[in-house]
Structure 1
């Protein structure tokens, strides 16, 4: 039987039930009137029976209609909503409905979805093959950017950041260690970091220049500009600005005959250089000022001795004493100046921080390499190595010196194995190269240390002593007759772990570009449109979530964790995230701890909400805030605005309300249920950052579905959300 016939039958049954109800009611009325006319022969029991029958028929009729509506009207509507979501996203299938006819329809739809997925998979595979070379170049760019020692930022003409590396984020952060680096991010404005007038002035200085006529290159180019500025952390940066030229037909600002679509900033921290130059200038000035008096006295004494050669011996001795004293004073001044400037002279060498255990591992590998013409390589072992010890040395020169000494021991004394050790002694690091059994005299050892190094025919003008002195250390030869050990001992200043080490490069997920750049932002335009009229696909979003002590913000519950990530150009930037625990200054209920797993011990020593909110507010700047059941989280934020001195007046979108817009016939709009409908993997639930990540994935899945419904702008999304039932909930 076809499903329309079932609907007809259900409607017929419903009509019969309604007819029976009407007849029963009419019979009851007639019986009542007859009973009154006949002197009340109708008993109350009969009337009660008729009433029960009437109510029973009514209930059965309502149940039949509701069941028929749920099975044959509401179920197809839910299937249509699920099918709309599945046509926008691959890998999803319809579940088996309750009725035979809908099951047949679901099977047919699933066959079509499978065929569509197979076709999309084939197309995607071809696209991946075609883009393999491009993705490889992008990965190389990401690795290059991460490893650069310079800070690099690329912006479009509106000042929107479309590329940066980790060095730039550390250099431009308010914290000296790179923490709270909320100022820099994809899609953010560079004018939050640098003064707008300074950037605009540098852009105005980009003037066209002619090509090199000597090489026959008459093409026009554009020069560069430089400026110096200070960061919020007080660091002094020198910025070199170069233009990014657009291709044919690509819009941009015209400089001469060339189109400029953006600019590159290469930043150099010149704080220490500036301080070193200031010390040098002060030193030179002190030498000039301090040397005038002694030089004048020396000159006067010398002139007196020259002009009056017949002066008395006592007077002559007095003038000679003046010359001796003033010469000594000058010598003292120059010695002090040399000592004060010696550290600056040493800093000109390229010293680098390196973990001691890594240095010894490389040294052992280099020393133990097979040499040409050698049948047996030198055996090397490392012993007594302090794993936590850092050094600031010329690592290449130090490795060269260790290898030179070890191989010379092998060549001249037939030493077959050596040992390397590294230990801390106070503020110094003790590096030993030692061996057992074969002794050498002190004169030979000192000669080795002072001779220019020569290894396998490759010579260096530097000696071992030169290299060690360059590293601000000392080296000597020593013997232990009891243990029959001899060693070259090097004492080096112990270093500290560098604070600006680049973070490890985390590979992007399959099909996802590295998150430190997005060249699609070149196509952004400032536009004069209000934010409400901007397309959803062009906006930047901050997806956030909170964990709290309870569910009643107005009753004193507090935020204990804020997690957030950003969406730029329809990409979830997992590396640009905000994750902060907060001390609520109040006890935690056992019920809330069971949900989020955050205990009082984890919150000890964490900042309070009034410290965290200004930083989070800066992280959300120039974006639309997105949350699941966002009204709940926003209420917590708004109650702390006055204390924190910030106001969260950002536009807000709620995935709960958007789900109700997209799927009004679904029975639940919980985050897990929405994620399951849209094929989003759920992970890290009931942590603020984990929930924010899932919400961001869900929101990105919703964008094409909203576009199919004609909801393409922020205004349309907000108005549609406000019309849902869930928008009326208050906290």
Structure 2
């Protein structure tokens, strides 16, 4: 009876106490039911008023969400501590959602999207500008994704309305707008080629026309046949020039508009992009050697990566070194990107000739030479050899970008403030508090489940499916899920297959556990794990620590143990029984993702009931769980 009353207080609408036992208990149950009816009426009235207020806010939230979704840029917002509180579909497409092996997700650190050092550099630039102008600024940078795409990002602060306080005290978070500029960079390279074609390739024809015209003018004693020959030359060359201009205009019709200026770019990203391009084009082994992470450059990144790739390809075709190394160094004004190799050296004549020749890459000739590209950057190319180490090198010298580059003032404010929304995550995640002392309602969770070949992990049974879903700020994020079948490379126990229905044939071609676990480990990073009978699932994960080098060492909560804490008098704490008791529908039972969803719903309903028992923090929930009988079970 006490358990049933707790469930009513915890939010189970319409539940009544079943009268049973002695007459006194039956009478007590009836009176409790009358109290429940009165309690439900009061609650419905309060919820109706709250729902009307929520509906207004929800409409405004939906309008904001629609606007953000339709923006052509990727949108990311994070709180002051760098936790993501908003992102749109374009951002997920650029960087990958967490269910796709990427790391964008609500409550996750922005460091999972951008390099930590790049963010620290950007934050320093932003803070300096904010302190100088005491208001809104925008800082831009260019970076590269793991897939090699070039991304331009613009970062601006989110400030509160109290202009009396210092600007740094008003900082609530950051808004980041991102866009893919890979194609833009490639078009800029083609645009340069267009200009050079329209100038250099026409010189021969124009010279012929000029020579023929000068002969006609200077020699007035030419006979009719000679005059016709010169006029024929003029006509033929004019036709060829017209056709050449028309063909070029058609070929480059998509790049005849716009212009791309040099952009500030983190040197680490530039060298990394060059490394991937060289490996893809030549198949050579490349290594990064002595890369200064503090260097920023102002470059046309596509053109500089092309220069380094062309040099590497020509070195490979000439002497076939075993590997090349890339380094990045610099002084106060200049940086040098070094491409070096051991063994055979080049002649100085060959190296100088490469600088002047049109660049040839993968069978496509660009009219631009390396010298012309570097002249645009106010840079130069040097070649040399170190006798002591028997290594040869090309060094591309480029001006460094200043720390304040690409900073623009934000729009002027007229004092009016548009309506902003109270995103709970702006105040979420106080890192100064120990995790054990954090309230359960504030934590981020990964609720997960596994299906396996059998029930004995120590005897060699393997995981065949992992399903998980995230809880952030008390919300079950159905859009941030992890679902993956796993090839166990062994047979499945018929008794287990009869439960989950996953056959050996269905798993053929799926990735193995050594491939899947790193993705799941990244998905669950910096969250508390939640499972039902979690000790069983955790044992499978622990047995793979040596093979993967990964440890799932974050705190774990178990809804089986929490159910025993809340309702110690119940005969069973199986997932089906708990779901029925809490009124949670069972869908896709014995599917890992379906069971994780049910477990997440149950866990959210348990949190207020635990609070009524004085169990508020993570540490208190774990301590209470460890005292239950079921905590003694080992696998």
TM-score by length of 2: 0.67
Change (3 A) 1:254 1:309: farther
- 1:610 is aligned to 514
Instruction: Encode CA deviations 1:537-567: one digit per residue, 9 max, x unaligned.
Output: 2110000011112111122222221111110
Asked whether the equivalents of residues 101 and 519 of structure 2 are also in contact (C-alpha less than 8 Å), the reply is: no
The answer to whether residue 30 in structure 2 is matched with residue 139 in structure 1 is: no
Change (3 A) 1:106 1:266: same
Q: Shift of the alpha carbon at 1:704? A: 1.8
**Cα distance in 2 for residues equivalent to 1:312 and 1:719:** 112
Instruction: Encode CA deviations 1:672-726: one digit per residue, 9 max, x unaligned.
Output: 2222333333332211111111111111112122223332222222222223222
- 1:277 is aligned to 188
- 2:27 is aligned to 104
Instruction: Encode CA deviations 1:86-132: one digit per residue, 9 max, x unaligned.
Output: 32223233333433333333332232222212211110011112332
Asked whether the equivalents of residues 627 and 653 of structure 1 are also in contact (C-alpha less than 8 Å), the reply is: yes
Residue 131 of structure 1: SS of its match in structure 2?
helix
- 1:730 is aligned to 634
The answer to whether residue 512 in structure 2 is matched with residue 599 in structure 1 is: no
- 1:242 is aligned to 156
Asked whether the equivalents of residues 89 and 678 of structure 1 are also in contact (C-alpha less than 8 Å), the reply is: no
Asked whether the equivalents of residues 191 and 256 of structure 2 are also in contact (C-alpha less than 8 Å), the reply is: no
- 2:615 is aligned to 711
Residue 170 of structure 2: SS of its match in structure 1?
strand
Change (3 A) 1:167 1:181: farther
For residue 231 of structure 1, the aligned residue among 129, 142, 145 is: 145
**Cα distance in 2 for residues equivalent to 1:84 and 1:197:** 50
- 2:385 is aligned to none
**Cα distance in 1 for residues equivalent to 2:54 and 2:66:** 18
Q: Shift of the alpha carbon at 1:302? A: 4.6
Residue 76 of structure 2: SS of its match in structure 1?
strand
- 1:268 is aligned to 179
More relative contact order, 1 or 2 (CA 8 Å, 6+ apart): 2
> Which has the higher Rg, Structure 1 or Structure 2?
1
Asked whether the equivalents of residues 87 and 113 of structure 1 are also in contact (C-alpha less than 8 Å), the reply is: no
- 1:126 is aligned to 49
**Cα distance in 1 for residues equivalent to 2:562 and 2:447:** 14
**Cα distance in 1 for residues equivalent to 2:162 and 2:17:** 48
Instruction: Tell me the matched-pair count.
Output: 471
For residue 251 of structure 2, the aligned residue among 312, 337, 340 is: 340
Instruction: Encode CA deviations 1:229-281: one digit per residue, 9 max, x unaligned.
Output: 2222222222233332224499xx9427x822112222222222222222111
**Cα distance in 2 for residues equivalent to 1:338 and 1:110:** 83
Asked whether the equivalents of residues 530 and 558 of structure 2 are also in contact (C-alpha less than 8 Å), the reply is: yes
- 2:355 is aligned to none
Change (3 A) 1:134 1:249: farther
Asked whether the equivalents of residues 658 and 721 of structure 1 are also in contact (C-alpha less than 8 Å), the reply is: yes
- 1:660 is aligned to 564
Asked whether the equivalents of residues 99 and 483 of structure 2 are also in contact (C-alpha less than 8 Å), the reply is: no
Asked whether the equivalents of residues 582 and 608 of structure 1 are also in contact (C-alpha less than 8 Å), the reply is: yes
The answer to whether residue 607 in structure 2 is matched with residue 686 in structure 1 is: no
Residue 205 of structure 1: SS of its match in structure 2?
helix
Instruction: Encode CA deviations 1:512-547: one digit per residue, 9 max, x unaligned.
Output: xxxxx9810011244323322322221100000111
Q: Shift of the alpha carbon at 1:577? A: 1.0
Q: Name stretches of at least 5 consecutive residues in structure 2 with no aligned partner.
A: 260-420
For residue 198 of structure 2, the aligned residue among 267, 287, 290 is: 287
Asked whether the equivalents of residues 186 and 518 of structure 1 are also in contact (C-alpha less than 8 Å), the reply is: no
- 1:562 is aligned to 466
Asked whether the equivalents of residues 169 and 181 of structure 1 are also in contact (C-alpha less than 8 Å), the reply is: no
Asked whether the equivalents of residues 547 and 561 of structure 1 are also in contact (C-alpha less than 8 Å), the reply is: yes
For residue 113 of structure 2, the aligned residue among 193, 197, 200 is: 193
TM-score by length of 1: 0.59
Task: Map 1:140-219 onto structure 2 (within 5 A).
Answer: 140-173=63-96, 180=100, 182-203=102-123, 204-205=125-126, 207=129
**Cα distance in 1 for residues equivalent to 2:163 and 2:608:** 29
Q: Shift of the alpha carbon at 1:324? A: 6.2
CA RMSD across the alignment: 3.3
Task: Map 1:480-491 onto structure 2 (within 5 A).
Answer: none
The answer to whether residue 510 in structure 2 is matched with residue 631 in structure 1 is: no
The answer to whether residue 185 in structure 2 is matched with residue 255 in structure 1 is: no
Task: Map 1:533-572 onto structure 2 (within 5 A).
Answer: 533-572=437-476
